[in-house]
Amino acid sequence: MENKKVLLGMSGGVDSSVSALLLKNNGYEVIGATLKLFSKNENSDTYKDAKSICDFLNIEHHVYDYKEEFKKRVIDNFIDCYSNCKTPNPCIECNRYMKFGVMYEKAKELGCFYIATGHYAKTEYSEKYRRWVLKKSNAGKKDQSYVLWNIQKELLEHIIFPLGNFENKEEIRAIAKDSNLKVANKPDSEDICFIPDGNYKDFLEKNSKLKPKKGNIVNLEGKVLGEHSGLYNYTIGQRKGLGISNPVPLFVLGFDKEKNEVIVGEEDKLYKKEILVTDINLLLIDELNDELEVEVKTRYSSRLAKARISQEGKNIKVKFDEPQRAITPGQSAVFYIDDIVLGGGKIISSF
């Protein structure tokens, strides 16, 4: 007999709430799980709304405290990236280690075969590849497969994304409203969850050894053009807030950590045709033996770009058909074949 027991990550938002409703309507035995990940939202509506929805739908609800693991896996990584002139994506670490890491372990303890979240993505068995695959959702720009590349492939057959076939958030809100879910009009959270005010510089200064440290802003020839307030205050591609005047607009191209310098240049210097990617996680194949034609996303909001990928030691080299703008170390490069996620890795350099 099929085990239709599923542990669902409940954030108290409309996506996870509608996911609970859809799973229940499809005959699953749903258990809601809300993870305590950081102290700032201890008294927020997250837990109240999650419990309220679970009570309304008559499903079991648990709250689990994983603040220690979250700090180690997500917050410390976030700080480490900025300390080393990289721009992190904490959602990717959270998905790997929390939502599809410790939560899956908890699911097994509870006798659940499945875990589920309100992400806009799909999992299904592919006859062509003879394995479970992670795919783009139908939600276009809202698709979240990019932030899921780092989950373990062994988990794919255990993951359900109830929202994978919906095309937009309005459909989800309409279902919530029609079903009298009180979170139907609850706003989306756009910021990093542990920095709700969006001020990551303030967060870094209060929670790490990073403090304002002035240094030079220089061009590619090393000419001093101005002064910066700390390397972590800048990101590749940034134009505003440099405090320097120039006949042609200048953009942040990179950093020299040893010299404590921000390097700037004209926009054409932002375009690179090759990148090197590390910390590889392949979902669709076990190893990359030959050069492969794929499409690549280098940021959550960037467009897919055609490229060829090849193994280079433990890393993967990506050669784009057309140069790409503002490639940023610390961000993820995610590889797609059609609508299937081949895998991905962390960008370490571009050239």
State the pLDDT confidence band at 8, using cuts at 50, 70 and 90. very high
Please give the model's pTM, rounded to 2 decimal places.
Answer: 0.95
336 in Cβ contact with 342 (< 8 Å): yes
**Residue 13 sits in the same domain as residue 148:** yes
Mean pLDDT for the chain overall: 95
Residue 313 CB partners (closer than 8 Å, separation 6+): none
Q: Is 201 inside any structural domain? A: no
Q: Given 228, 249, 265, which residue is the final one in a domain?
A: 265
Handedness of CA 102, 278, 158, 26 (dihedral sign): positive
Q: Which structural domain, as residue segments, surrounds residue 251?
A: 212-265
Q: Is 203 inside any structural domain? A: no
- Burial (CB count within 10 angstroms: exposed 0-12, middle 13-18, buried 19+), residue 216: middle
Count other C-beta atoms under 10 Å from residue 25's C-beta. Answer: 11
Please tell me the total count of domains within the chain: 3
**Residue 67 sits in the same domain as residue 123:** yes
Tokens 């953009």 -> residue: 251
pLDDT at 37 over 80: yes
Assign residue 142 the CATH number of its domain.
3.40.50.620
pLDDT score at 41: 53
Quick: pLDDT tens for 246-257. 999 999 999 999
**Residue 143 sits in the same domain as residue 10:** yes
- Annotated active-site positions, please? 94, 193
- Find the helix packing angle between 169-178 and 14-25, rounded to 10°: 60
Q: Is 190 inside any structural domain? A: no
**Residue 219 sits in the same domain as residue 340:** no
Assign residue 312 the CATH number of its domain.
2.40.30.10
pLDDT score at 188: 84
Residue 97 CB partners (closer than 8 Å, separation 6+): 69, 73, 74
**Residue 88 sits in the same domain as residue 158:** yes
**Residue 163 sits in the same domain as residue 46:** yes
Quick: pLDDT tens for 181-199. 999 999 887 778 899 888 9
94 in Cβ contact with 74 (< 8 Å): yes
Nearest 5°: CA angle at 14, between 9 and 19?
Answer: 50
Q: Is 205 inside any structural domain? A: no
* pLDDT (mean) for 123-135: 97
280 in Cβ contact with 315 (< 8 Å): yes
Residue 233 CB partners (closer than 8 Å, separation 6+): 201, 212, 241
Tokens 């721009």 -> residue: 87
Q: Is 200 inside any structural domain? A: no
**Residue 337 sits in the same domain as residue 279:** yes
Q: Is 187 inside any structural domain? A: no
User: In Å, what is the CA distance from 286 to each residue of 43, 50, 273, 313?
Assistant: 44, 38, 26, 15
192 in Cβ contact with 82 (< 8 Å): no
Q: Given 131, 152, 178, which residue is the final one in a domain?
A: 178
